[in-house]
Amino acid sequence: MGLRYSKLSYLNDYVFFTTYIPARSVWIPAAAYWAYACGSTHPLVLVSYPLHIIRGLTFVYEMWCLSITRYRELQKMNASNIKLYWFTAVDKKKIDELGIERPRDPSRAKRSKA
């Protein structure tokens, strides 16, 4: 499980969200102006850039939902008086008792024998 339920993990998540969401939702669509204003822009760019913007906005939506999930996890932990530490994760049993769904570890997934 690593440091998933530690202060360091939540800090890392929120720093990522606060940089990712503005970049994908504001800076990338704003760069479309330069792509379309330049007369020498390749036609492939003119076709693919709106798709890039749409995909970026779907990523923003996913990150927004993920940040809300992280916030709700913290609220559950605070309501249950579970103290977070910087470099020590919360015990798995406490996480399960709160009903917080842990991320699946792909390295431990059952592999089918072919």
The angle subtended at Cα 96 by Cα 95 and Cα 98, nearest 5°, is 70
pLDDT in tens, 49-78: 888 888 888 888 888 888 888 888 888 887
Note the pLDDT of residue 110: 52
The CA-based dihedral angle spanning residues 76, 78, 80, 83, taken in that order and rounded to the nearest 10 degrees? 120
Question: pTM for the full model?
Answer: 0.65
